[in-house]
Amino acid sequence: MSDELLSRKDFFKKGFSKFFQFLHETVGDNLGVLAYSPVRPPGALEEKEFLDTCVKCGKCVDSCEQESIRFAGIEAGFLVGFPVVVPSERACFVCDDLSCMKACPSGALNLTDKFNIKMGIAVVNKDKCITYNGEDCRVCVTSCPFPEEAIFIDQQKHPFVNKSCIGCGLCEYWCDYDAIRVKSER
């Protein structure tokens, strides 16, 4: 093999090795990142379009007085730096101003009225929800911006989530038992 060919091979080998080193440093052993399915701020485009459109300027982050939006961290792997809502940390309070969507300069967030926001859907964990242990609780219902509509207590005295749930995550945020979580469906 010629010297030139060898050095090109070496170059690509080093390139790949650097790439995998970067992958390892970014993702580590946590392959869970491959299943990363974030809750995006309200009014977000479909995920692929969102990633193509969002310029990571942080105007949505700055505009939210509730501090409901933050930049994704290293847990997001390659999607680090895009804005997310992490309901267990801080839900979207579905404020009257809807300022995050108004602040977005790129169109990654579109101004959407409260009823048509779709960040995901809440899912009850029967193993954790205390109503499945015979206790009365309606924290998720009372914390919901659309109580008795998006979520209600059914005849068996368990919370039931309707399709009209917008995925704001207030139920998740206020539940002391980690028994309800927003699934982003992105």
The least distance separating ligand SF4 from the CB of residue 158, rounded to whole angstroms, comes to 13
Work out whether 169 is an interface residue with ligand SF4 (CB under 6 A). yes
The least distance separating ligand SF4 from the CB of residue 156, rounded to whole angstroms, comes to 18
- Which of 165, 179, 181, 184 lies at the binding interface for ligand SF4 (CB under 6 A)? 165
DSSP the chain: --HHHHHHHHHHHHHHHHHHHHHHHHHTT-GGGGG--PBPPTTBPPHHHHHHH-----HHHHH-TT---EE--GGGGGGTTSEEB-TTT------SS-HHHHH-SSSSB----GGG--S-EEEE-TTT-GGGGT----HHHHHSSSBTTTEEE-TTS-EEE-TT-----HHHHH-TT--EEEE---
Q: Choose between 28 and 105: whose C-beta lies nearer to ligand SF4.
A: 105
The least distance separating ligand SF4 from the CB of residue 144, rounded to whole angstroms, comes to 3
Binding site for ligand SF4 (CB under 6 A): 41-42, 54-60, 63-64, 66, 68-69, 83, 92-95, 98-100, 103-104, 106, 108-109, 122, 143-146, 150-151, 161, 165-171, 182
